[in-house]
Structure 1
């Protein structure tokens, strides 16, 4: 069976359970939704954590409720200096003003409910929120969602489209607060501003920018690969312990402009191993360790992490 991207969602026969079961992106302008924005200590849901959860509930185009809380992690609440400079969130502020992570994600998940979710570069927020909800056994965050960044890229092609860039162009604000509730409210203004100016043709163009590719068909064209393809130009070895079909996985890598390696070498970029084999004491892991010790930049990735990277690209 083929590995495909259908309406922006990666489909991997035999390994679908390795992926976050998020919803599908909806392109359009809706009257009812919940806008979310979170603050974190970094970019990776696997090693970083949420410091603040913010959301705004919209009904008939009007704000009807808000949610905002700092999040106390049970282990550590240290915040990198550059993050504090960005948004003013400190460890002291979290501990004095925040609520425990299990309570915060429970309240946040209940606040969202079954709503259509909206956000700016919303997959970033969804990944962190999905994982925290899963950690504390909350309802799976499989809601469909709107990504306002896709609308911005369509309306302003070829330009930098950070939230701040778009707000400045629209005359909405000159600074970005980098706080959950404030940024949610600003993103609503951006979304509603786009609603006033988007033509049917632009909306169709935004819809057509959602990926639909057969990754085990023919090689993708340069324009299809995009800037954030995590495979292009990488030398990748797939271990035998994966849930996905090995031949399909290798063909997918080749079609995404990566280079398949069947044996580990000094110039290997990624070795993809089964989730349970990551910490195992076996020959492959020892070889990877020896190469890293000798100066190789090879990285060992779990199958779930690797497929998560691909799914993020598929949804971008």
Structure 2
């Protein structure tokens, strides 16, 4: 459990639902700089494992801080049948439906080769829980095997330790690329592609190592400094919460009907973890949690909040994780005993 300085309301609907949700028995989030590791990045059709598929995996193996091998495969989730890819994903990544169907391999083949490539290495990723959760669920589904490699999050290291505000206000990969003029020789350097982003994230990890020191390690994760209508209570973020928990510092919006917990309980829960509940999607929103949608917009099964979030993402104005309420509960379950 994270060493979060909070008081949990055991009667809260979200605590009850989270406890009933199966936890991912995955590896631990580490705060250190190993010399041997594997950087990994994935491209997906959604920001939630409940809805989306992995369509590309890229990785670079690092030994003694030097890249020694690379891994990059397109995935056809319906192999050998043709896969239908939406325009939003193609516009974001540059990966086309033809790419998937002509060059994509099956989930089983790519995931098996990926497991052989990483072996028991520590993994490094940007917003690591996104990549790790997708991979964990896909590997569990394909092989009934728990993917338990420990991992380091370059976003977490940059945001909370190496390049805190005001030195850097935002910490997306693109923000590091712009600030430090990063580039590489990957063929798709100007767009979201898995190998390209892995190479950039290796450079971000090097910058954080240089800033904090090769021997830096977080000594303690337990001491931090500082359809039914109803009125939403206002909750302020608990700044004394453990910064290493996956919600700390995020601006989070909920939309749709939340089947297993109330919105007030959700707002209280994330605020206790150091997150800020927002009523509407904005450019500074970090996460949108989506429940059951009503067909009251031009796009079926999407609320106006989700449509706005997707528009901001596509325009490059925001970096918002869109997750299902079930995926949110899985993340919450990892924090609660």
State the match for 1:86 in structure 2: 92
**Equivalent in 18, 27, 31 of residue 31 of structure 2:** 27
Which residue pairs with 1:160 in the alignment? 170
Q: Is the 8 A contact 1:117 1:144 kept in 2?
A: yes
Q: Which residue in the other structure is 2:238 paired with?
A: 222
Q: Secondary structure of the equivalent of 1:136?
A: helix
The 1:227/1:138 distance shift into structure 2, 3 A limit, reads same
**Which residue, 69, 74, 77 being the options, matches 2:83?**
77
Which of 58, 64, 84 pairs up with 1:60? 64
Match of residue 128 from structure 1? 134
Deviation digits for residues 2-37 of structure 1 (CA, Å, limit 9, x no counterpart): xx53489xxx89948701111111111111111100
CA shift for structure 1 position 255: 5.4
- Asked if the contact 2:182–2:203 (Cα under 8 Å) also holds between the matched residues in 1, the reply is yes
Distance 1:81 1:206, change over 3 A: farther
1:169 & 1:208 partners in 2: Cα distance? Answer: 32
Q: Distance in 1 between matches of 2:71 and 2:237?
A: 43
Q: Which residue in the other structure is 2:152 paired with?
A: 146
Q: Check whether the contact 1:52–1:70 (CA below 8 A) recurs between aligned residues.
A: yes
1:185 to 199, 224, 233: 199
Q: Give me the TM-score of the superposition, normalised by structure 1.
A: 0.66
**For residues 258 and 87 of structure 2, what CA distance do their matches in structure 1 show?**
35
User: CA distance change for structure 1 residues 210 and 34 in 2, over 3 Å: closer, same or farther?
Assistant: farther
Mapped to 2, the partners of 1:168 and 1:206 lie a distance apart of 32
The whole-number CA distance in structure 1 between the counterparts of 2:88 and 2:120 is 35
| 293 and 25 in structure 1: CA distance in 2 versus 1, 3 angstrom threshold | closer
- Stretch moving more, 94-103 or 79-88: 79-88
1:149–1:25 distance in 2 versus 1, CA, 3 Å: same
**Equivalents in 1 of 2:20, 2:26: separation in Å?**
12
What CA distance in whole angstroms lies between the structure 1 residues aligned with 2:329 and 2:209? 34
State yes or no: 1:5 paired with 2:12. Answer: no
Counterpart contact for 2:162–2:211, Cα < 8 Å: no
Deviation at 1:309, TM superposition (A): 3.8
Which whole-Å CA distance do the structure 2 matches of 1:25 and 1:97 have between them? 33
**Going by fraction, where is helix more abundant, 1 or 2?**
1
Mark the CA change 1:141 to 1:208 in structure 2 (over 3 Å): closer, same or farther.
same
Conserved? CA contact 1:27–1:207, under 8 Å: no
How high is the TM-score relative to the length of structure 2? 0.63
Q: Residues 76 and 307 from structure 1, CA distance in 2 versus in 1: closer, same or farther, beyond 3 angstroms?
A: farther
**Alignment of 1:308 onto 2:308:** no
1:131 and 1:28, CA in 2 relative to 1: closer, same or farther beyond 3 A?
Answer: same
Write out per-residue CA displacement over residues 38-58 of structure 1, whole angstroms, 9 at most, x where no aligned residue. 001121110111110111111
Q: 1:170 aligned to 162, 170, 180, which one?
A: 180
In structure 1, distance between residues paired with 2:95 and 2:83? 10
Q: Deviations over 1:218-260 (max 9, x none)?
A: x9953246434678x9997858xxxxxxxxxx999755559xx
Separation of aligned partners in 1, 2:85 and 2:224: 35
Contact persistence 1:37–1:181 (CA under 8 A): yes
Say whether the 8 Å CA contact 2:3–2:221 is kept in structure 1: no
- Kindly indicate whether the alpha-carbon contact (under 8 Å) linking 2:33 and 2:216 is maintained by their aligned counterparts in 1: no
Matched residues in 2 for 1:184 and 1:140: separation? 23
Segment of structure 1 superposing worse, 42-51 or 151-160:
151-160
3-state SS, counterpart of residue 35 of structure 1: strand
Deviation at 1:310, TM superposition (A): 2.0
Give, in angstroms, the shift of residue 164 of structure 1.
1.2
Cα distance 1:39–1:257, how it changes in 2: closer, same or farther (>3 A)? closer
Residue pair 2:92, 2:192 contacting (<8 A) in 1 also: yes
When Rg is computed on C-alpha atoms for both structures, the one with the higher figure is 1
